[in-house]
Chains A and B, each alone.
Chain A
Amino acid sequence: MAAPAVEEDDVTYVRTDPELPPVAIIDRSPITLRHKIVFGVVALLGAIAWALIAFARGETVNAVWFVIAAICTYVVAYRFYARLIEMKIVRPRDDEATPAELLENDVDYMPTDRRVLFGHHFAAIAGAGPLVGPVLAMQMGYLPGAIWIIIGAVFAGCVQDYLVLWVSTRRRGRSLGQMVRDEVGAVGGAAAIVAVIVIMVILLAVLALVVVNALAQSPWGVFSIAMTIPIALFMGVYLRFLRPGRISEITLIGVALLLLAVLAGNWVAETSWGQDWFGLSKIALSWCIVIYGFAASVLPVWLLLAPRDYLSTFMKVGTIALLALGILIARPTIQAPAVSEFAHSGTGPVFAGSLFPFLFITIACGALSGFHALISSGTTPKLLEKQGQMRLIGYGGMLTESFVAVMALVAAAILNQHLYFAINAPEAKTGGVAESAAAYVNTLPVGGDPITAAQIKAEAAGVGEASIVSRTGGAPTLAVGMAEVLHRAFGGPRFEAFWYHFAIMFEALFILTTVDAGTRVARFMLSDALGNLGGPLRRFRNPSWRPGAWLCSLVVVAAWGGMLLMGITDPLGGIYTLFPLFGIANQLLAAIALTLVAVVVAKKGYWKWLWMPVIPLLWDLVVTLTASWQKIFSTDINVGYWSLHHHCQQALAARTTKCSTARNVDQLNQVIRNTFIQGTLSIVFAVLVIVVFATGAVMVLRAARGGGTPLAEDEPAPSRCFAPAGLIPTATEREVQRQWDTLAVSSAKSVGTAAH
Chain B
Amino acid sequence: MGHAGRILRQIRWYCGTLMGDTHYRRYVEHRRRTHPGEPVPTEGEYWKMRHAAGENPGARCC
A residues near B54, Cβ cutoff 8 Å: 107-108, 301, 755-756
Task: Tell me if A116 counts as interface (CB < 8 A to partner B).
Answer: yes
Task: Tell me if A207 counts as interface (CB < 8 A to partner B).
Answer: yes
B residues near A107, Cβ cutoff 8 Å: 27, 49-50, 53-54
Question: Could you tell me if B18 and A754 are in contact, using CB atoms closer than 8 angstroms?
Answer: yes
Question: Could you tell me if B20 and A756 are in contact, using CB atoms closer than 8 angstroms?
Answer: yes
Question: Could you tell me if A245 and B18 are in contact, using CB atoms closer than 8 angstroms?
Answer: no
The complex places the Cα of A119 from the Cα of B47 at a distance, in Å, of 21
Which residues A711-756 have CB closer than 8 A to chain B? 747, 749, 751-756
Question: Could you tell me if B59 and A753 are in contact, using CB atoms closer than 8 angstroms?
Answer: no
Task: Tell me if A251 counts as interface (CB < 8 A to partner B).
Answer: yes
Question: Could you tell me if A240 and B47 are in contact, using CB atoms closer than 8 angstroms?
Answer: yes
B residues near A200, Cβ cutoff 8 Å: 59
The complex places the Cα of A223 from the Cα of B30 at a distance, in Å, of 44
Chain A 294-325: CB-based contact to B (< 8 A → 1; otherwise 0): 00000011100110011001100000000000
Question: Could you tell me if B59 and A518 are in contact, using CB atoms closer than 8 angstroms?
Answer: yes
Task: Tell me if A556 counts as interface (CB < 8 A to partner B).
Answer: no
Task: Tell me if B57 counts as interface (CB < 8 A to partner A).
Answer: yes
Question: Could you tell me if A245 and B23 are in contact, using CB atoms closer than 8 angstroms?
Answer: yes
Question: Could you tell me if B58 and A119 are in contact, using CB atoms closer than 8 angstroms?
Answer: no
Partner of B59, one of A110, A244, A364, A375: A375
Task: Tell me if A396 counts as interface (CB < 8 A to partner B).
Answer: no
Question: Could you tell me if B62 and A128 are in contact, using CB atoms closer than 8 angstroms?
Answer: yes
Name the residue in B47, B59, B60 with the highest tally of chain A Cβ atoms < 10 Å from its Cβ.
B59
In this complex, what residue of A is CB-closest to B13? A752
- A106-B26, A754-B23 known; A301-B59 Cβ under 8 A: no
Task: Tell me if A472 counts as interface (CB < 8 A to partner B).
Answer: no
- A306-B51, A749-B29 known; A127-B18 Cβ under 8 A: no
Query: Closest approach, in angstroms, between the C-beta of A699 and any C-beta of chain B?
Result: 25
Query: Closest approach, in angstroms, between the C-beta of B43 and any C-beta of chain A?
Result: 5
Task: Tell me if B7 counts as interface (CB < 8 A to partner A).
Answer: no
Task: Tell me if A374 counts as interface (CB < 8 A to partner B).
Answer: yes
Question: Could you tell me if A756 and B51 are in contact, using CB atoms closer than 8 angstroms?
Answer: yes
- A244-B43, A514-B60 known; A300-B51 Cβ under 8 A: yes
Question: Could you tell me if A313 and B51 are in contact, using CB atoms closer than 8 angstroms?
Answer: no
Please classify the interface of chain B as helix (H, G, I), strand (E, B), loop, or mixed, using the class held by over half of its residues. Answer: helix
Chain B 3-24: CB-based contact to A (< 8 A → 1; otherwise 0): 0000000000111111111111
A residues near B20, Cβ cutoff 8 Å: 245, 247, 752-754, 756
Query: Closest approach, in angstroms, between the C-beta of A137 and any C-beta of chain B?
Result: 15
Question: Could you tell me if B61 and A127 are in contact, using CB atoms closer than 8 angstroms?
Answer: yes
Query: Closest approach, in angstroms, between the C-beta of B30 and any C-beta of chain A?
Result: 5
Task: Tell me if A435 counts as interface (CB < 8 A to partner B).
Answer: no
Query: Closest approach, in angstroms, between the C-beta of A544 and any C-beta of chain B?
Result: 8
A residues near B57, Cβ cutoff 8 Å: 301, 305-306, 309, 517, 520-521, 755-756
In this complex, what residue of B is CB-closest to A105? B30
Query: Closest approach, in angstroms, between the C-beta of A116 and any C-beta of chain B?
Result: 5
Question: Could you tell me if A753 and B60 are in contact, using CB atoms closer than 8 angstroms?
Answer: no
Question: Could you tell me if B22 and A752 are in contact, using CB atoms closer than 8 angstroms?
Answer: yes
B residues near A302, Cβ cutoff 8 Å: 47-48, 51
Task: Tell me if B44 counts as interface (CB < 8 A to partner A).
Answer: yes
Name the residue in A247, A375, A517 with the highest tally of chain B Cβ atoms < 10 Å from its Cβ.
A247
Chain A 353-370: CB-based contact to B (< 8 A → 1; otherwise 0): 000000000001100010
Question: Could you tell me if A375 and B60 are in contact, using CB atoms closer than 8 angstroms?
Answer: yes
Question: Could you tell me if A524 and B19 are in contact, using CB atoms closer than 8 angstroms?
Answer: no
**Chain A: number of interface residues, binned into ranges:** 35 or more
Task: Tell me if A695 counts as interface (CB < 8 A to partner B).
Answer: no
- A127-B61, A379-B59, A751-B26 known; A251-B53 Cβ under 8 A: no
Question: Could you tell me if A124 and B23 are in contact, using CB atoms closer than 8 angstroms?
Answer: no
- A752-B22, A754-B19 known; A108-B53 Cβ under 8 A: yes
Task: Tell me if A391 counts as interface (CB < 8 A to partner B).
Answer: no
Which residues B31-62 have CB closer than 8 A to chain A? 33, 42-44, 46-51, 53-62
In this complex, what residue of A is CB-closest to B53? A107
A residues near B17, Cβ cutoff 8 Å: 112-113, 116, 751-753
- A244-B47, A302-B51, A755-B54 known; A124-B19 Cβ under 8 A: no
Chain A 238-256: CB-based contact to B (< 8 A → 1; otherwise 0): 0111001111110100000
The complex places the Cα of A130 from the Cα of B61 at a distance, in Å, of 10
A residues near B14, Cβ cutoff 8 Å: 115-116, 119, 752
A residues near B56, Cβ cutoff 8 Å: 520-521, 524, 543
Name the residue in B29, B46, B55, B60 with the highest tally of chain A Cβ atoms < 10 Å from its Cβ.
B60
A residues near B50, Cβ cutoff 8 Å: 107, 756
Question: Could you tell me if A313 and B62 are in contact, using CB atoms closer than 8 angstroms?
Answer: no
A residues near B26, Cβ cutoff 8 Å: 106, 110, 749, 751, 753
Query: Closest approach, in angstroms, between the C-beta of B3 and any C-beta of chain A?
Result: 18
A residues near B47, Cβ cutoff 8 Å: 239-240, 244-245, 302
Name the residue in A116, A306, A379 with the highest tally of chain B Cβ atoms < 10 Å from its Cβ.
A116
Task: Tell me if A335 counts as interface (CB < 8 A to partner B).
Answer: no
B residues near A104, Cβ cutoff 8 Å: 30
Task: Tell me if A513 counts as interface (CB < 8 A to partner B).
Answer: yes
Which residues A55-89 have CB closer than 8 A to chain B? none
The complex places the Cα of A112 from the Cα of B59 at a distance, in Å, of 19
Task: Tell me if A371 counts as interface (CB < 8 A to partner B).
Answer: yes
A residues near B59, Cβ cutoff 8 Å: 124, 200, 371, 374-375, 378-379, 517-518, 521
- A116-B14, A244-B44, A306-B51 known; A313-B19 Cβ under 8 A: yes
A residues near B53, Cβ cutoff 8 Å: 107-108
Task: Tell me if A125 counts as interface (CB < 8 A to partner B).
Answer: yes
The complex places the Cα of A21 from the Cα of B28 at a distance, in Å, of 25
The complex places the Cα of A200 from the Cα of B22 at a distance, in Å, of 33
The complex places the Cα of A375 from the Cα of B43 at a distance, in Å, of 28
The complex places the Cα of A244 from the Cα of B49 at a distance, in Å, of 12
The complex places the Cα of A284 from the Cα of B38 at a distance, in Å, of 54
B residues near A112, Cβ cutoff 8 Å: 17
Question: Could you tell me if B43 and A245 are in contact, using CB atoms closer than 8 angstroms?
Answer: yes
Question: Could you tell me if A248 and B61 are in contact, using CB atoms closer than 8 angstroms?
Answer: no
In this complex, what residue of A is CB-closest to B30? A106
Partner of B62, one of A129, A249, A520: A129
In this complex, what residue of A is CB-closest to B20? A754
A residues near B42, Cβ cutoff 8 Å: 244
Task: Tell me if A425 counts as interface (CB < 8 A to partner B).
Answer: no
Which residues A577-599 have CB closer than 8 A to chain B? 586
Query: Closest approach, in angstroms, between the C-beta of A212 and any C-beta of chain B?
Result: 16
Known: A248-B19, A301-B55. 19 other contacts (CB 8 A): A107-B27, A116-B17, A129-B61, A240-B44, A244-B24, A244-B46, A245-B21, A247-B20, A248-B15, A309-B57, A313-B19, A369-B61, A371-B61, A372-B61, A514-B60, A517-B60, A586-B62, A752-B22, A753-B26
* 9 closest cross-chain pairs (CB), A and B: A752-B17, A129-B62, A754-B20, A374-B59, A106-B27, A244-B44, A247-B19, A371-B61, A751-B26
A-B contact pairs, 12 of them (CB 8 A): A105-B30, A106-B23, A107-B54, A127-B62, A129-B61, A241-B44, A244-B44, A306-B51, A375-B61, A521-B57, A752-B20, A756-B54
